Structure 1
Amino acid sequence: MEIKEIILNILNEIKNGTIPIHTAYNLTLDMWAEFIEYLDDKKYITDVTIYWFGDDDTYYDERVHSVDLTKAKLTTFGEEFLVEEVN
């Protein structure tokens, strides 16, 4: 699956009220976090949380612990992107 296709599928799942998961796209958790962070940075989605092992001050580790999309919503920019890319 191409990157653009993955992004469109993630946005469609969130739009339809489904919580996307990284295993459905054969992505590692770190790669998944990068996709979600990108979509959040582009303001296509909101209300996402990425938990890093490094969030704990007792040790430093840049690996992703989990990605919480339970409250994720598509923004107006995300809706517009979907419309532009689908048509």
Structure 2
Amino acid sequence: MENKEIILNILHEIKNGNIPVHTDYNLNLDMWADLIEYMHDRTYIADVTIYWFGDDDTYNDERVHSVNLTKVRLTTFGERFLTEEMN
């Protein structure tokens, strides 16, 4: 599955009230966090929290501890993107 297809699937799941998890897409936690962060930065989704090991400046190799999507919501921009791409 390509990234765009994964993003569209995730947005669709969120729109339907489901909370997607990285194992649904055969991604490791670091890849999942990168993808969620990308979608958040593009303002497709909001209310996302990513927890990293070593969140202070003394650590150079930040690894993901967890991704919290319990409050995630689709933004208006994300909904528009989903609608345009699904047609």
Same fold (TM over 0.5): yes
Unaligned runs of 5+ in 1: none
Q: What fraction of aligned residue pairs are identical, expressed as a percent?
A: 76
Q: How does 1:1-80 map to 2 (within 5 A)?
A: 1-55=1-55, 57=56, 60=59, 61-80=61-80
Deviation at 1:39, TM superposition (A): 0.4
Structure 1 segments, 4+ long, off by >6 Å, are none
Partner Cα distance (1:32, 1:12) in 2: 16
Unaligned runs of 5+ in 2: none
Deviation at 1:81, TM superposition (A): 0.1
Deviation at 1:2, TM superposition (A): 1.1
Partner Cα distance (1:46, 1:54) in 2: 23
SS where residue 67 of structure 1 aligns?
Answer: strand
Deviation at 1:62, TM superposition (A): 0.3
Deviation at 1:27, TM superposition (A): 0.3
Aligned residue pair count:
86
Partner Cα distance (1:26, 1:63) in 2: 18
